[in-house]
Chains A and B, each alone.
Chain A
Amino acid sequence: DGGITQSPKYLFRKEGQNVTLSCEQNLNHDAMYWYRQDPGQGLRLIYYSQIVNDFQKGDIAEGYSVSREKKESFPLTVTSAQKNPTAFYLCASSIGGTGKQPQHFGDGTRLSIL
């Protein structure tokens, strides 16, 4: 089955620590996205990538970093500069291009601060 795999499902971070969330897709999609979901806030775009080795900041990129070295992988690093990292993180992908293609979502990673 094609889909998006996010790991781990739950992640705990200590203060001052960087953590990396994994996102892998086998849908052969060009575009990949990271969103943050907070209760009552909906989803907000962190970063997106239309092609390998290229990515753009979304609405709330501060304190986060990404890489896109392979088409199927788009890891997100939550750095110590992100002051409020506790949230549910969703990765998505789409065929890409015009914004008309629906996005497919993973099951998410829930990040908590110890």
Chain B
Amino acid sequence: AQSVSQHNHHVILSEAASLELGCNYSYGGTVNLFWYVQYPGQHLQLLLKYFSGDPLVKGIKGFEAEFIKSKFSFNLRKPSVQWSDTAEYFCAVTRGGGADGLTFGKGTHLIIQP
């Protein structure tokens, strides 16, 4: 079975700082990779996804992620964070071709200080 590790459970940054959230997965086959975000009081929503092709993918609100196959990683980045980026961020995977639900990391709680 696959698993997902997120390295930072709590991150506190000041506005305009750069962000990188780590995500590693364990699965030897093809995977589909996702980052979801849960803003305070809102439902979980998709930030970005990667299936194939260009390993650098761009999502909403200026976020991007890079898939590095050799490192089994899919780290999330943003050059300059805003107070409104305060949220819980989840990395998740599905197996390529499989439709058996997402495997999530434990999440990273990001707090942006004004």
Q: How many contacts between A and B, using CB within 8 angstroms?
A: 67
Residue contact B99 to A31, C-beta cutoff 8 Å: yes
Of A42, A103, A107, most buried by chain B (CB within 10 Å of CB) is A42
Interface residues of A (CB under 8 A from B): 31, 33, 35, 40-45, 48, 50, 56, 58-59, 90, 92, 96-100, 102-103, 105-108
B35-52 interface code vs A (CB 8 A; 1 in, 0 out): 010000001111001010
**Is B28 engaged at the interface, CB distance under 8 Å to the other chain?**
no
B1-27 interface code vs A (CB 8 A; 1 in, 0 out): 100101001000000000000000000
Contact of B102 among A40, A103, A106 (CB under 8 A): A103
Contacts of B4 in A (CB 8 A): 42
Contacts of A45 in B (CB 8 A): 100-103
Residue contact A58 to B101, C-beta cutoff 8 Å: yes
Residue contact A100 to B32, C-beta cutoff 8 Å: yes
Contacts of A50 in B (CB 8 A): 99
Q: A42 vs B36: C-alpha distance in the bound complex, in angstroms? A: 11
Whole-angstrom distance between the Cβ of B100 and the nearest chain A Cβ: 6
